Amino acid sequence: MIKIAQLSCGTEYSSVQYEIEKAARTVGANIVHPDVSASEINAAVERFGFKPQSPQLRLMIARAVQLADKKYDADAVFIATCFRCAEGALVRNELRRFIQDNTRLPVVTYSFTERLKAQQLMTRMEALVTIVTRKELLARERQSGITAGIDSGSSTTKAVIMIDNRIAGKDWTPSGDVIASAEHVMENALRQAGVKLKDIEAIGTTGYGRYRLGKHYNAKLVQEELTTNSKGAVWLADRQRGEATILDIGGMDNKAITVRDGVPDNFTMGGICAGASGRFLEMVSKRLKIEVTELGALADKGNWRNAKMNSYCSVFGIQDLVTTLGDGKTFEDVAAAACHSVAEQVYEQQLQEIDVRHPIIQVGGTSLISGLVAAVGEILGSKPIVPQNSQYIGAVGGAILSSGFLEGM
Amino acid sequence: MSAERETRIIVISPASDITPDQVTRTIHSMGRKVTVKESCYGAVLEGERDVVREVIAEIRKLDANGIFTKVRAYHAGDPRRCRAHHGTRPGFAQLEQEWGDLWKIQHGLDCADRGEKANERKTEEKLSVERFKKICEVK
Amino acid sequence: MKVFIDPPNSLILFDLVEREGHEPLSTMAAIQEKMERTEIDMPPMNISLEDVMKGLKYAGIEVPSGVRGRLAVWGPMIESAEAAIIMEDCPYAFGCVGCHRTNLMVRYMIKKRGIPVLDVNYPNDEDQARDLVVMIRQFLGGLK
């Protein structure tokens, strides 16, 4: 059983402890609390250097020190504090850094409300467990044989056929019925690759519909998207060695993953407010009566400073847009402002949860919106790499990782 | 067990000569309808509320000022509290700390029994700005 | 009389209040009641989403859920308390009293009730421990 050490404050009184443990159990892990005696707490806090007023946060620090000193054995770390608690947020983030500086344990942080359900944590927990249990598979740098990857996302469904470490066929479609959408893109990708479904030696599925598709196609690999996306991204960007940050601004939730030699070691996945999602850009395009594919080029010609848009909420964001257009601002400026607004919020809400490592590899469908990539680059201080086929990362990751199951056959 | 169940932890002051074993044996010998488990600090006692309280009153007689007790939320042996399952719960560190200081409270109780009075509480005041200024000026 | 103790999970305060023949209002007793609710299965403390929502009576939605959940446990106890003892500067305070902001609110709520309150400091030495015990005895003895 994989042991996930929980460092937290407020989970029991928020009625979410049960959900955390349920999510861990579902992916084959057990939540543990590193043992610490009262006499060790003050010394641990002194050593850490941050002395919070709340005693439970001090206990969290002492537990982290136990892990750093290898006095307590765990495989991964889950750090959680209440949403809207400033003291908790500071400690949570600094402890995450401390764990990363002092251990090689994968870590994920989370700020919860009382509404947290196990389902929301599943992908994160599954990714933590994968990092621990599938190290060899994750270290895989090449695809071999004939394999397919299907990414059933909230907005689009993508399929990729790979043959001997190259993409031989690919297709995408807006997501409708999970199976029908997947069959549609698979058919086109197979035709492009010149192979039949029976020729496929292994299939990897990822995204929201991964379990259904996994069953439907008898997939060798059914994997959450944090893992497949990071693998797909480093392969597409040819950054298998060294460090990088993978940024995927998705239709529903955003992922930021830091990788070391192609293996993820920290990630954040969020999306409480839709103002920071790809969906918001779709809404903006609709209001501007253009295709979302045209938004990027339009934004490139505009200046975000000329139009004020910075709402966390997509509804208020559209209200901003309407007001701005009413003021006579140009479509170009408004498009640029919308892209800047999304990038800014991703930075404010999510990238604070990880330590951004350069280069930044921006992927997913939204990485094709050039104005958004430019906005991310402006905010982060260096232009992100957008690899070719960047919208196919999940599917590519699925195809690469599933080929790992072919060896020895 | 009914809503009337009560679970108690009995904690022995580090300055007391009583041992956890003595406490549990004494409870067993009372023949009351309770369950008792020895712990490193004393014992965990469980039963119907009235019976538990009567047992506590008897146990205190072993060392009136050296035996302490409080209600425990969880049943004895409840896996939700079990240290072996997933490590200590936060309250454990607190209990450890309070146990370590019980000798002071025991001493306080002994003094109170002898009729000693409390000293007036002195609150330390911060140096006034005027005074601090003068000190700085002298230098 | 019902005496609310702060920290509400303190062994020392619970014991001293009970010794003097009063009923200590503590977290443990409140959680013990929740443990008996077999219709709810939310381990480890059986605090449900409804409980956290009850905390809205004491603090708004902009306040973290952990604070509201804690206040939902202690609020009703403070409302039913006839007296209270508050111990400051405790070297311990983990678990249920782990949130400093909640602890500040709890003390405020006690003071606002207008019930007799004894403020004491955690003893650093034997003399202070004697003072603590004597003061608590006097306070509890004077409650009618």
What confidence tier does A274 reach under pLDDT thresholds 50, 70, 90? low
What total number of domains does chain C contain?
A: 1
With a CB cutoff of 8 Å and minimum separation 6, the contacts of B109 are: B64, B65, C133
DSSP states of C69-92: HHHHHHHHHHHH-SEEEEEES-S-
Provide mean pLDDT across the span C68-92: 92
φ/ψ of C39, rounded to 5, equals: -75, -15
Nearest-CA distance A318 → chain C (Å): 24
With a CB cutoff of 8 Å and minimum separation 6, the contacts of A79 are: A7, A8, A60, A92, A95, A96, A99, A107, A108, A109, A110
Show residues of chain C in contact with B94, CB under 8 Å. Answer: 9, 92-95, 97
Is residue B131 in some structural domain?
A: no
Among B11, B95, B118, the residue with its CB nearest the CB of C135 is B118
Span A100-143, pLDDT tens digits: 899 989 998 888 999 888 887 888 899 899 889 988 888 889 99
Is residue A166 in some structural domain?
A: yes
d(CA A126, CA A128): 5
Helices (H), A103-251: 118-133, 135-138, 178-193, 210-216, 225-236
Asked casually if ipTM beats, i.e. exceeds, 0.90, the reply is: yes
Say whether both A127 and A95 belong to one domain: yes
Q: Tell me what the pLDDT averaged over chain C comes to.
A: 90
Bridge-based pairing of strands A221-222 and A202-207 is parallel
Is residue A231 in some structural domain?
A: no
What confidence tier does A293 reach under pLDDT thresholds 50, 70, 90? confident
Show residues of chain C in contact with A18, CB under 8 Å. Answer: 41-44
d(CA C26, CA C73): 10
With a CB cutoff of 8 Å and minimum separation 6, the contacts of B9 are: B39, B41, B42, B43, B44, B45, B69, B70, B72, B95, C11
Say whether both A212 and A192 belong to one domain: yes
Q: Does A53 touch chain B (CB under 8 A)?
A: no
| Cβ–Cβ gap A15/C92 under 8 Å | no
Span B61-117, pLDDT tens digits: 999 999 999 999 888 877 776 666 667 776 777 888 889 999 999 999 999 999 999
Say whether both A124 and A168 belong to one domain: no
pLDDT at A409: 44
| Cβ–Cβ gap C95/B91 under 8 Å | yes
Q: How many CB pairs under 8 A join A and B?
A: 27
Say whether both A182 and A201 belong to one domain: yes
Does residue C35 contact residue C27 with C-beta atoms inside 8 Å? no
The CATH number of the domain where A344 resides is what?
3.30.420.40
Looking up tokens 């995450």 gives: A96
User: For residue B77, what are the CA distances in angstroms to A131, A153, B7, B17?
Assistant: 35, 46, 11, 27
d(CA B132, CA B139): 11
Residue B138 pLDDT more than 80? Answer: no
Show residues of chain A in contact with B93, CB under 8 Å. Answer: 36-38, 41, 59
Provide mean pLDDT across the span C3-22: 94
Say whether both A72 and A86 belong to one domain: yes
Q: Look at residues A133, A154, A179 and tell me which one is the last residue of a structural domain.
A: A133
What confidence tier does B123 reach under pLDDT thresholds 50, 70, 90? confident
d(CA A368, CA A172): 14
Is residue B139 in some structural domain?
A: no
Residue A271 pLDDT more than 70? Answer: no
Please tell me the pTM assigned to this model: 0.85
- Least Cα distance to A392 among A402, A383, A403, A400 occurs for A400
Q: Look at residues A133, A149, A175 and tell me which one is the last residue of a structural domain.
A: A133
**Hey, is C109 helix, strand or coil?**
helix
Is residue A233 in some structural domain?
A: no
Among A33, A36, A41, the residue with its CB nearest the CB of B86 is A33
pLDDT at A393: 95
Question: What is the DSSP secondary structure assignment for residue B118, as one 8-state letter?
Answer: P
What confidence tier does C94 reach under pLDDT thresholds 50, 70, 90? low
Does residue A30 contact residue A24 with C-beta atoms inside 8 Å? yes
Among A17, A54, A114, the residue with its CB nearest the CB of C99 is A54
**Cis preceding linkage at C7, omega within 30:** yes
- Least Cα distance to A78 among A132, A137, A115, A37 occurs for A132
Say whether both A357 and A311 belong to one domain: yes
d(CA A362, CA A341): 17
d(CA A350, CA B14): 50
**Cis preceding linkage at C44, omega within 30:** yes
Say whether both A123 and A7 belong to one domain: yes
Cα atoms in the 13 Å half-sphere on the side-chain side of A193: 26
The CATH number of the domain where A62 resides is what?
3.40.50.11900
Residue C93 pLDDT more than 80? Answer: no
- Least Cα distance to A223 among A236, A209, A235, A237 occurs for A209
| Cβ–Cβ gap A35/B89 under 8 Å | no
Say whether both A126 and A145 belong to one domain: no
With a CB cutoff of 8 Å and minimum separation 6, the contacts of A354 are: A245, A256, A257, A258, A266, A267, A268
Range of the domain at C22: 2-141
Nearest-CA distance A51 → chain C (Å): 12
Sheet strands (E) in A261-359: 263-270
Residues paired with residue A266 on neighbouring β-strands, in sequence order: A107, A258
| Cβ–Cβ gap A41/B94 under 8 Å | no
Say whether both A116 and A52 belong to one domain: yes
Q: Tell me what the pLDDT averaged over chain A comes to.
A: 90
The CATH number of the domain where B48 resides is what?
3.30.70
Show residues of chain A in contact with C73, CB under 8 Å. Answer: 13
Q: Which chain C residue lies closest to B7 (C-alpha atoms)?
A: C32
Q: Which chains touch B (3 or more CB pairs under 8 A)?
A: A, C
Residue type, A400: I
Residues paired with residue A263 on neighbouring β-strands, in sequence order: A260
What confidence tier does C1 reach under pLDDT thresholds 50, 70, 90? very high
Residue A370 pLDDT more than 60? Answer: yes
Q: Which chains touch C (3 or more CB pairs under 8 A)?
A: A, B
Range of the domain at B69: 5-113
Nearest-CA distance B99 → chain C (Å): 8
pLDDT at A276: 72
Q: Does B89 touch chain A (CB under 8 A)?
A: yes
A245's tokens:
């940050």
Q: Does A392 touch chain C (CB under 8 A)?
A: no
Residue type, C46: N
Is residue A370 in some structural domain?
A: yes
A169's tokens:
């066929």
Higher pLDDT, A279 or A336: A336
Show residues of chain C in contact with B119, CB under 8 Å. Answer: 127, 131
Show residues of chain B in contact with C91, CB under 8 Å. Answer: 97, 101
| Cβ–Cβ gap C69/A11 under 8 Å | no
Task: List the Cα angle A380/A383/A388 in 5-degree steps.
Answer: 130
Percent of chain A with pLDDT over 90: 58
**Cis preceding linkage at B20, omega within 30:** no
A67's tokens:
């892990």
Question: What is the DSSP secondary structure assignment for residue A195, as one 8-state letter?
Answer: -
| Cβ–Cβ gap A36/B88 under 8 Å | yes
Within the 59-118 window of chain C, which residues sit less than 8 Å (CB to CB) from chain B?
91-98
DSSP states of A368-408: G-HHHHHHHHHHHSSPPB--TTGGGHHHHHHHHHHHTTTTT
Question: What is the DSSP secondary structure assignment for residue A357, as one 8-state letter?
Answer: -
Does residue A28 contact residue A128 with C-beta atoms inside 8 Å? no
Is residue A230 in some structural domain?
A: no
| Cβ–Cβ gap A13/C53 under 8 Å | no
Residue-wise burial string across B95-110, b where 16 or more C-beta atoms lie within 10 A, e elsewhere: bbbbbebbbbbbbbbb
What confidence tier does B1 reach under pLDDT thresholds 50, 70, 90? very low
| Cβ–Cβ gap C28/B72 under 8 Å | yes
Say whether both A354 and A310 belong to one domain: yes
Range of the domain at A188: 139-218+395-403
d(CA A84, CA A87): 9
What total number of domains does chain A contain?
A: 3
Residue type, A337: A
Q: Does B97 touch chain A (CB under 8 A)?
A: yes
Within the 215-244 window of chain A, which residues sit less than 8 Å (CB to CB) from chain B?
none
Is residue A146 in some structural domain?
A: yes
Say whether both A176 and A77 belong to one domain: no
What total number of domains does chain B contain?
A: 1
Least confident range from A28-37, A253-262, C119-128, C130-139: namely A253-262
Say whether both A256 and A369 belong to one domain: yes
Does residue A327 contact residue A284 with C-beta atoms inside 8 Å? no
Strand (E) or helix (H) holding A5: strand A2-8
d(CA C59, CA A339): 37
| Cβ–Cβ gap A55/C68 under 8 Å | no
Residue A232 pLDDT more than 90? Answer: yes
Higher pLDDT, A167 or A266: A167
Among B87, B94, B100, the residue with its CB nearest the CB of A35 is B87
| Cβ–Cβ gap C64/A10 under 8 Å | yes
Provide mean pLDDT across the span A261-266: 85
